[in-house]
Structure formats: structure tokens, C-alpha cells
Amino acid sequence: MDYALVHLKQSASEIPEKCLRMDFCNYLWSKMNLSLQQKIQDIVDDAIMRGEELGVQCAIWQNGAIQAEYYAGYCDEARTRLVTADSLFPVFSVGKAFFSTLALKLVEAGVVGMDMPLAEVWPEFGTAELRTVRLRHVLNHTTGLFIMPQASTPEELADWDLMCARMAKRRPAWTPGTKTQYQALTYSWLLGGALVHATGKPLGELLRRELLEPIGVDRDTFFGIPLSEEHRLGRVVHGPDLLPSFPKKQTYLDPLPNALRCRCIRAACLPAFNCMSDVRGMAKFGAELWQGNILSRKMLAEATALQRPPNDPIPSENPDEYWTIFGHGYTLLGGRPNYGRIFGHHGHGGSEITIDQENGTVFAVVKNRLSCKVLQPMKERIRREVKQMLG
């Protein structure tokens, strides 16, 4: 029997609850592309053996069907826990793809509008400097509000009401809508504050009820991980090319993974950076999104069109600076002339979910050895095999 099948059957036997929940065996065996599966297995195993990677999960779907899924390596630097299909990892800004999709779903439902001023539903946001900020400015990262409010302790960062109140007192760096700058952390409170005020519901509940539960990934992807699921969570480690901004002055938030050492932050719903997921949840989300089961085709086309102020040229097309090219909440990776052909979001250090709209391919990777590069060797080798076999 093919080693990939042996590996997957052994892993399935280790997680009987997951087998029952997702009909694991029937689901995988009937749809797997075993040639691609073997190629991915070889690439991942080689990367781990050479120390390039530590722990990896990878899943490829096309046209709504799974093509390959593999997981290998270790959940921790001490190599005491093996990665399984059920392992969860911090995937950081990958969560922005889910979070943005929630907002777009609420736009389609008429709960909020693209041109809605945030002050319309969030009165504290109605200062002279902020009253022109609209929902579309948040989604396309043109608010000028990219500097995080003060948060002296992890407990302050995890305090939703406190951080929203401080966010509403910030001054934009420029007139909203005139220039692009990635809202790496502030996206949580800008978008989340608008949605919470518009619906009257906690953000975690909105994400779970409106998005994660309907597509069946509420036990795969978390925005605020329950204590009962902590045993599944792996640790991230810095690769040699990813160093803190100020090595001698590390804080609870620099480097970013430090924040996730704090239980209060892991438990908080901060979708801009504290998403925890396994690769299956990410891939299933991507497949459902591409098939039109979450957003309409019209909305997805609008959301993946380049959103750029007229006098704000793209500074670079270097893939390692992908955060400069946005649609409505998604990063656009298709290149000229059709930027939105490939869209999704990467996370700090290398996890990613990307979707090719032309051929329906969903590419999802979760990894725990972090790198500063988007174009990472293992992922690019997998990407080449996927392109060769699936187009």
C-alpha cells in the first residue's frame, strides 16, 4: 500500500472523534489525488528532515474537492509532540481572510454597507478626524489608522471595550481613502468595532454563527481558543531569518508570537492576528468561498478587484511585499494585469490560504517555523507540483 495511505490511516485512527465528525475515511479516500499526495509528502518530509521546517500541515483542493492533505513533523521545538490532522497552530493574519469574508457577508445581507461611515453605527467614532472613515476604507487598508493604540500589558490588549475606545480616539495619518497602509493589528478593532456596533453581537459569536458553523469548520478554526482546545495547540519558533525588531528590548508584542504566550490573548477574539487553525479548516473555508457558498459570485468579484486610491501607485510587485495590494480585505497575488486571479491571505511567518479563481485551486499551508519571506522554499516546491498536476 502507498505510504501516504498508511500515514493517513494511522493518523485517522489516532483521532476517532474527528473521523466521525468529518466522515474522515470516506471523505479522503474517494477524492484524493494520490500522485500529488505522494509528491507533497516527499517535499514536506524532506524539508523537515533537513531542518528547513519543524511542523507542517498542507491541503490542496480543486473545484470543491480535496486533492491532497498531509501533515508531518513536530508541534514544538523540543520535538515531544507529533503534528496530526487535529493539531492547531497560530496562523496570525490568515484570520483576516475569514474576518473580511464575515464583513462582506454582512454587506450582502444589508446589515452594513460598503460606504457606511463607521460613525453611523459607532458614535464614539464620530470625531472630526474619523467621521469620514467608511467601511470600504477599513477593508482596503486606506483609513490611515495603522498605528496600534497604547496597550501596556497583555490584559489591556485583550480588553475589547478598552481597545475599541482607544481606537476611536486615534487620528488618521492622512485623509481616509487617499493612501494605502496595511492595518496589521488595528484591523481587529476597526472592522470588528464596526460589526459589533452594527449587530449588537460579540465578535466571536458573529464569526462562529455567521461563518465557521455554517461551513462546518468551527472545531478547526478559532478566534479566541477555548481552554478545552489548548491541548491541540502547537508552538511557533523563529527561523534564522526572522528576528525581533529590537532584539535587546523584546516585549510581549515584539516579536508578535510573544503575545500568544499569554493565555488572555489566546482566549481573546482579535481576528487581525490571533487566529488558531488546522489546515483542514482553512482549506474547507477556501473551497466554500470559491464555490459561492459563502458570498455571491458578484460580491467575490468585487472583493477581489484591485482597490487602490487614484494617486497611490503600487510601490512594489515583490511577492514579499504582498501586503501592499488589496481588494476588499483580501490580498491580491495574481500579478498584472489580473491581480485578483489569486487571492487570500498570508500569516506572519508563512502560513497561508490562497485561492486561484481561474482553476478553483485552494492552496493551504500551516507551519510553525516562521520565516520573513513569502516565497519560502518548501511552499514554492509544493506550488510547482500543484501547478504541474492541476494547472
Residue 236 has pLDDT above 60, yes or no: yes
Q: What is the pLDDT of residue 11?
A: 41
- 103, 332 contact by CB (below 8 A): no
Which of 25-34, 144-153, 355-364, 382-391 bottoms out in mean pLDDT, i.e. has the lowest?
25-34
Q: What is the pLDDT of residue 18?
A: 42
Note the pTM of the prediction, 2 decimals: 0.92
Q: What is the pLDDT of residue 6?
A: 34
Q: How confident is the model at residue 258 (pLDDT cuts 50, 70, 90)?
A: confident
Residue 372 has pLDDT above 90, yes or no: no
**Average pLDDT of the residues in 27-32:** 61
30, exposed or middle or buried, with CB in 10 Å at 0-12, 13-18, 19+?
A: exposed
**Average pLDDT of the residues in 124-140:** 95
Q: How confident is the model at residue 10 (pLDDT cuts 50, 70, 90)?
A: very low
DSSP strand pairing (237-238 vs 369-370)? parallel
282, amino acid identity: M
Measure Cα distances from 114 to 45, 192, 328 in Å.
Answer: 45, 14, 9
Measure Cα distances from 10 to 24, 41, 76, 85, 89 in Å.
Answer: 12, 15, 21, 11, 21
Q: How confident is the model at residue 245 (pLDDT cuts 50, 70, 90)?
A: low
**Average pLDDT of the residues in 365-387:** 94
Reported CATH class of domain 3-91+275-390: alpha beta
Q: What is the pLDDT of residue 8?
A: 42
Give residue-wise pLDDT tens across range 322-366: 578 999 999 999 998 899 999 999 999 999 999 999 999 999 999
Q: In what order do the strands lie in the sheet with 55-62?
A: 65-73, 55-62, 361-367, 352-356, 342-346, 331-332
Measure Cα distances from 154 to 83, 98, 237 in Å.
Answer: 28, 24, 20
Which of 110-124, 182-196, 227-241 bottoms out in mean pLDDT, i.e. has the lowest?
227-241
Q: How confident is the model at residue 252 (pLDDT cuts 50, 70, 90)?
A: confident
**Average pLDDT of the residues in 261-275:** 96
To the nearest 10°, report the CA torsion of 190, 195, 201, 207: -90
Q: What is the pLDDT of residue 253?
A: 81
CA distance 297 to 291: 8
- 279, 69 contact by CB (below 8 A): yes
As a whole number, the mean pLDDT across the chain is 90
Give residue-wise pLDDT tens across range 311-323: 999 887 776 665 7
Q: How confident is the model at residue 240 (pLDDT cuts 50, 70, 90)?
A: confident
Tell me the range of 31-40, 131-140, 306-315, 321-330 where mean pLDDT is highest. 131-140
Residue 375 has pLDDT above 90, yes or no: no
- 208, 102 contact by CB (below 8 A): no
Residue 206 has pLDDT above 50, yes or no: yes
Residue, of 98 and 239, whose pLDDT is higher = 98
Residue 161 has pLDDT above 70, yes or no: yes
Q: What is the pLDDT of residue 243?
A: 61
Residue 179 has pLDDT above 90, yes or no: yes
Q: What is the pLDDT of residue 15?
A: 38
Q: How confident is the model at residue 133 (pLDDT cuts 50, 70, 90)?
A: very high
CA distance 46 to 121: 52
CA distance 195 to 223: 15
